[in-house]
Amino acid sequence: MKEKAYRSDRMKTGHANAGNRAFLYGVGLDREEIRKPFIGIANTWNELHPGHKHLRELSAAVKEGVLSGGGQPFEFNTIALCDGLAQGHSGMCYVLPSRDLIADSVEVNAYAHCLDGLVLIASCDKIVPAMAMAAGRINIPAIIVTGGPMLGGAFEGRRMGGGWMVREASSRVMRGELSEEDYERMQKSVCDGVGSCPMMGTANTMSCLMEVLGLSLPGCGACHAVTAEKLRYARRSGKRIMEMVERDIKPRDYITEPAFANALRVGAAIGGSTNMLIHMPAIADSFGYTLTPEQFDRIGDTTPFLVNVIPSGKFTMREFEQAGGVPAVMKELGEEYLDLGQRTASGRTWAQELEACPGSACSEVIAGKDRPLRRDSGLCVLRGNLAPVGAVIKRTAVDPGMLCHRGPARVFDCEEAAVDAIKSGQIRAGDVVVIRYEGPKGGPGMREMQNPVTAMISYGLSGCAALLTDGRFSGASHGPCIGHVAPEAAEGGPIALVREGDLISIDIPSKSLTLEVSEEELEKRRREWTPAPPKAVSRYLERFRFLVTDAWRGAVMEVPRRPEE
């Protein structure tokens, strides 16, 4: 009986590859191990932050699964940045660009070493979508094991959802409401061990959506980092990749356009991060599909918001997992909202998976679709002459009094200048703070504007002044924070034409964002406009600035086209 042919055979069989086999013998393999399918385990372990410090243990469990399934595992590493550690300095410029670098590194290793399959291990904000992008690009059997949320801490009886709560509490220290000693104790209470932040921020949003797409086993996304069940998910994923390799099941074979629609639906229902609107188009592009602002808006408007988890609710990811996690949300949405014929990473359809799902174990955490937390999603796309392509806001995080707002523009060409103005008392109630040249090209790197958000909260402005930017926000941001304004200032978008004192009208119920300046005046300003000088950056960021697309196309590094194309 003829043995199955594997991709790795092209580098390890026959006389021509004897030298290659010599290197494989050199790492300690024997003849029978070399004949097995080669499974790459892309691990983003590092010791710098809690999101990835535990991933060696998960990798070991994956290897056990691969070996039991008859494969030969090879672990390799790639980088993983922490958004939390990059806040407040120029390091944030590198966080979104790192996503393409991670995907590139996995692609390079998979092709160079002719791997037969991939298990991709990641936890945090940009790393999980980077692994999904790699899976779509390379299109060999692949499965993602997400690292899982950390256990949520508590301070003075309040659940702690992440480092953003500590940043925002700095205002209490300034006002003398919290001592330095208690503030130190608060800082130690947030991250109660390893894992991603215990809220529905970007990391956990994207981990949950990997289940829906079919890249992670159902239930994996909300399964916590420190649990034995997470080790079982890792081991089962190792076994499952061997079945996928034997049957040659590749991501593009079963992850179709309706799977992306399902992911957007679930993202809306769980109150996902605004960064989802950057990452999902980037992942879709890797699979050969296009997602548009109109799709986000249409799905958001027709999907009930069900999940009561920080920052849009009061519970942590632990309670979400205990209430049933993503499968319980999908069971609640049902065929009315989802295409349950789409296949999961297990090989079964969602309809088959959900037959065994009991549904939500707690209606306080996961509401019923007939009594949702609200009738539409938390995310909303705004358009108007200030954002012709679109801008995004998390409407569930906006004070009702700010849903409609009209105020004078206070214009800044970088994040730092805006923060200085807020802290020096230059911003007043009613103002609209405009921070531009912070988009994908202008930043470069589209920094999170967490510092201005924190400053506005600290100085009592979050409920009476708005913030508008071509940059983006942390998954924890709340208040009238409008991001992803496109076209961005660096590309001559209307946000580049705003002048100090111009009136800006924000109408979230009507989804409009208007610069109250005549088209004639705007055209005059366009003719006079000169871009702000490019910021001095590293070679990698310069390359990113040159190649990156706009936020609504996923802020991916586009391949330059030849002149004849």
Whether the CB-CB separation of 303 and 175 falls below 8 Å is answered with no
Q: Mark out the alpha helices in 317-356 (DSSP H runs).
A: 317-322, 325-337, 350-355
Token representation of residue 82: 């922490």
> Within 13 Å and on the Cβ side, how many CA atoms surround 288?
9
Q: E-strand spans in 114-270? A: 117-122, 142-146, 154-155, 158-159
| Residues near 335 by beta carbon (within 8 Å), at least 6 away in sequence | none
Question: Of 80, 138, 133, which is closest to residue 107 (Cα–Cα)?
Answer: 138
CA 16, CA 10: separation in Å to the nearest integer? Answer: 10
CA 177 to each of CA 171, 326, 458, 477, 527: distance values in angstroms, whole numbers, following the listed order:
9, 39, 12, 23, 52
- In 3D space, the residue among 78, 12, 3 whose CA is nearest the CA of residue 40 turns out to be 78
Q: Say if CB 213 and CB 132 are below 8 A apart.
A: yes
The C-alpha R_g of the chain, in whole angstroms, comes to: 24
**Cα four-point dihedral sign 447, 448, 454, 459:** positive
Is-contact 222 321, C-beta < 8 A?
A: yes
Distance, CA of 56 to CA of 284 (rounded, Å): 29
Residue with tokens 């944030």: 92
* Closest by Cα among 404, 461, 550 to 168: 461
The set of catalytic residues is: 474
Nearest to 393 by CA among 417, 375, 377: 377
Quote the CA–CA distance of 475 and 272 in Å, as a whole number: 8
